A and B are shown apart, each in its own frame.
Chain A
Amino acid sequence: MCFDSLNSADNWVYINMKRLTLQDLQTFKATGEAITCVTAYDYAGIQMAEDAEIDILIPHDWGIGTALFGQTSSSSVTIEHVLFYLKGIVQSVRRAYILAPLPYGAYEISNEQAIRNAAKLIKEGADSVILQGSGIVLERIVSLTEVGIPCMGYLGYTPQQVKKLGHERVVGDTAQEAVTLFNDTIAMEKAGAWGVILQNVPELIAKEITDRTKLITIGLGGTRGCNGQMALMHDLLGWPLDTMPLFSIKYADFFHRGLAALNTYYNEVQNLVFPEAQHTFAIADADYELFLKEIKKES
């Protein structure tokens, strides 16, 4: 038999693991338990995150654009792309809460457009959707909340607006920008959002927002002082990237470890070390003789 078994329950398959809900996340904020959140796109990544008991998984559109597609931004990422990677999370998730982004161009035009696309994400299995920015987005959050779609806002440096904002930078390090940011979060809370991702916001400002609103705040990039933290899995694990986040924070070096393993594999194959008998199959001598006789007849 070639594989252990098609139907075997592998030791990493957990059954009946209870999924986190929005209420659980709100309890975390109330009790001061830090929330962790990472980007995830594939079975292996999801298994690592679940084994580390990460609370929230996101098929992050910026990560799809940069880490997965090798581009410099998330501008070309569509709702279909997000749905494709979301599907993998939904199929393999055990405990984590699933947050799905509405990508650039999928919610700006009208409330109707936002509801249609957000509904696609919810139908695929997302627990909540993310919308970047303020202004018109507040109206979208009102509409989505009205139809029962939980909304997470996203303020500070919002990568979907890269063409307007320019290169990744800190947002809210001047009093004026910080006040706008603060007012936007108040408006976002009023619009019905349950939380907000704050990217590259100074700790003192993020802390004020966290303390003065009911929003669950998740810090991303250089943002500290929130109820939780989000990290980009590719950056954290040291996968090779062309477009590096401004606040790159590595916990592992997958690139060099992965590369060394591939080159060992290469050398073992060239030297006929791999595959060994255990990696292949034998034919009985009698059958092999019969096989040789048969193919001789053919030629």
Chain B
Amino acid sequence: MSNQKVTVPHLLSLKGKRKILNGSVMDASMAKIIDASNLDMAGAGASTAAMIIHGYMTPIPATLEQVLVYLGPIAKAMKRALLSATLPYGTYQASNEDALHTAITYMQAGVDSVKIEGTGRMIDRVHAIASAGIPCMGHVGMTPQQIHTTGRYRSVGKTASEAVKVYKDALLLQDAGAWMIELECVPWKVAERITQDLKVLTMGTGSGTGCDGQGLMVHDIWGLRTPVKPRLAKQYEDLHTFGVNALSRFKNDVKMHKFPPDDKVAEISDDEFKQFLDTIG
């Protein structure tokens, strides 16, 4: 792993050579772990604020102001991995101007690529953003910001007509200038075919091994609690249990008056303490 900053052209050059890995990041401390790992990129957009931090079950409640609280600090802390961020719900749908304004605000905060969800007129938004020289990712299949339309988190593209629509939308997003397209919960055969027919990259989330890259929430990888437990994720560690055990031992040590431990205690000399007692009486 090199320490050089990961860039969009670098990732595009990896198509067909090796898989690209995408994670998630919520603060400067976590950014350090991402940077030390092999992950190529990490996201810190709407779902980080709404779900990972605030505990909502969808990314919809996140606002631009909220995401901007941590986006700048993370951008500064994450020196190697590429930082991408999804624009918050309601900040890009209404017009290309809105989309550009939000995307530029994100870029000024220091992100490396923005992402927007959806198709139809949202493809025009991608075009507007990409035309302005801002790396923009698309997102088709299950799009969490449109959860109220799909009704629930589900696979998109299991019927021929849905699959054709996902395929065509991915091509349209490529034409609009998207450099990477997230395929969420798309049947693996369909995702594989889309990946073959695209020059740009696909990032699979629950869409099989055929995509150019894979994306998971790092909290799911680590077994840290999130408000929804996606079936597409794999847990590689159980940090929640480790954390609870650590905090329980802390609590127990406090009760036994063993915290802080003897070698981590502030002290006063006997002379000074005596003088203190004499003064306060």
Contacts and interface: CB of A to CB of B under 8 A. Distances in A.
A252 B242 contact: yes
Interface stretch (A66-74, A101-109, A136-144): A66-74
A228 B224 CA distance: 27
A81 B27 CA distance: 13
- Is the interface on chain A under 10, 10 to 19, 20 to 34, or 35 or more residues? 35 or more
B135 interface: no
Contact of B153 (A6, A242, A257): A6
A17 interface: no
A208 B276 CA distance: 10
Contact of A2 (B54, B142, B221): B142
Contacts of A200: 266
Contacts, number: 347
B246 A263 contact: no
B110 interface: no
Measured as residues with beta carbon below 8 angstroms from the partner, the interface class of chain B is 35 or more
A47 interface: yes
A6 B242 contact: no
Given A2-B232, A84-B69, A288 B163 contact: yes
B107 interface: no
A43 B55 contact: yes
Contacts of B66: 84
Contacts of B164: 291, 294-295
A14 interface: no
Contacts of A192: none
B228 to A, nearest CB: 5
Interface string B192-206: 010001000000101
A20 interface: no
Given A1-B155, A202-B267, A85 B53 contact: yes
Contacts of A36: 250-251, 254
A186 to B, nearest CB: 9
Contact of A279 (B29, B231, B243): B231
A274 B234 contact: yes
Contacts of B187: 280-283, 288
A236 B260 contact: no
A188 interface: no
B95 interface: no
Contact of B155 (A178, A264, A281): A281
Interface of B: 18-19, 21, 23, 26-34, 36-39, 51-58, 65-66, 69-70, 73, 76-77, 142, 147, 152-155, 157-160, 163-164, 167-168, 184-190, 193, 197, 204, 206-209, 214, 216, 218-219, 221-222, 224-234, 236-237, 239-240, 242-251, 254-255, 257, 259-261, 264-269, 272-273, 275-277, 279-280
23 contacts: A2-B231, A4-B229, A42-B26, A42-B27, A46-B55, A52-B251, A67-B28, A68-B73, A70-B73, A170-B267, A240-B29, A240-B36, A247-B260, A247-B264, A249-B259, A252-B245, A262-B37, A262-B39, A274-B214, A276-B234, A279-B232, A280-B207, A281-B187
